[in-house]
């Protein structure tokens, strides 16, 4: 019994780490898939489609930096209407609210400096958050977005870089979007993923440390 208790204690962190890694991979794929879907819909509908990430969600404690949705421009009503409901990333997976320093130390970044050159879409330096309808609450949701054009190109509001950058990691955010890592290694999280969108082509590329 003593030996079983020791083995269980040793295996639990590994299982939790594996679960967290799976959640991060699932969340990264979801973000990339939705960006590709936004591009396809913009081309097919010949209209503007926004891929949005909630930065603040006052009515739900764990929704900030985890909720994503797609919105398409409707010329009849002259406003953006939701293409999808607000979907959540896996529990414990969030989008970084700014471009973190730790990604510049990754092997892919040191091998190719261009991989970390771009505009981090959620960064405050790009300007104010946009308001989106939550669908279930009176208060609007504050979010950041990239906009896919009918040509397949991408526009970054407030930005002018060739790449739009999103960084996905393991952690939690409070309703105001302040992030806490659940697993740390040195100055940053134990693992993460970086998603770049080429603004000229709409091509999505994923980097892992």
Q: What is the pLDDT of residue 9?
A: 44
Q: Label residues 87-119 b or e (16+ Cβ within 10 Å = b).
A: eebbebbbbbbebbebbeebeebeeeeebbebb
- The pLDDT confidence band at residue 15, using thresholds 50, 70 and 90, is very low
**Is 185 inside any structural domain?**
yes
**Is 154 inside any structural domain?**
yes
**Is 76 inside any structural domain?**
yes
* Residue 135, domain CATH: 3.55.40.10
**Is 8 inside any structural domain?**
no
Residue with tokens 């320093």: 101
The more confidently predicted of residues 187 and 203 is 203
- Supply the range of the domain harboring residue 97: 19-207
**Is 6 inside any structural domain?**
no
**Is 5 inside any structural domain?**
no
Please give the tally of structural domains in the chain. Answer: 1
pLDDT digits (tens, 9 = 90+) for 131-144: 998 776 667 899 99
Closest CA to 199 of 147, 158, 151, 155: 155
**Is 1 inside any structural domain?**
no
**Is 182 inside any structural domain?**
yes
- The pLDDT confidence band at residue 5, using thresholds 50, 70 and 90, is very low
pTM: 0.87
């Amino acid at each position: 019994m003593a030996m079983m208790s020791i083995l269980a204690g040793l295996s639990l962190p590994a299982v939790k780490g594996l679960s967290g890694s799976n959640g991060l991979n699932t969340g990264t794929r979801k973000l990339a898939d939705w960006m590709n879907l936004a591009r396809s819909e913009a081309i097919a509908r010949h209209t503007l489609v926004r891929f949005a990430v909630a930065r603040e969600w006052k009515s739900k404690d764990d929704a900030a930096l985890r909720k994503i949705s797609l919105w398409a421009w409707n010329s009849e009503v002259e406003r953006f209407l939701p293409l999808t409901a607000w979907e959540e990333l896996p529990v414990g997976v969030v989008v970084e609210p700014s471009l973190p320093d730790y990604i510049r130390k990754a092997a892919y970044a040191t091998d190719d400096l261009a991989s970390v050159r771009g505009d981090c879409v959620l960064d405050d330096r790009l300007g104010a958050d946009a308001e989106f309808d939550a669908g279930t609450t009176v208060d609007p949701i504050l979010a950041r977005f990239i906009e896919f054009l009918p040509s397949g190109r991408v526009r970054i509001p407030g930005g002018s870089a060739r790449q739009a950058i999103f960084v996905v990691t393991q952690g939690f955010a409070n309703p105001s979007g302040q992030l806490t890592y659940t697993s740390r290694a040195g100055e940053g999280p134990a693992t993460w993923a970086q998603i770049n969108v080429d603004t000229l082509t709409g091509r999505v590329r994923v980097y892992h440390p």
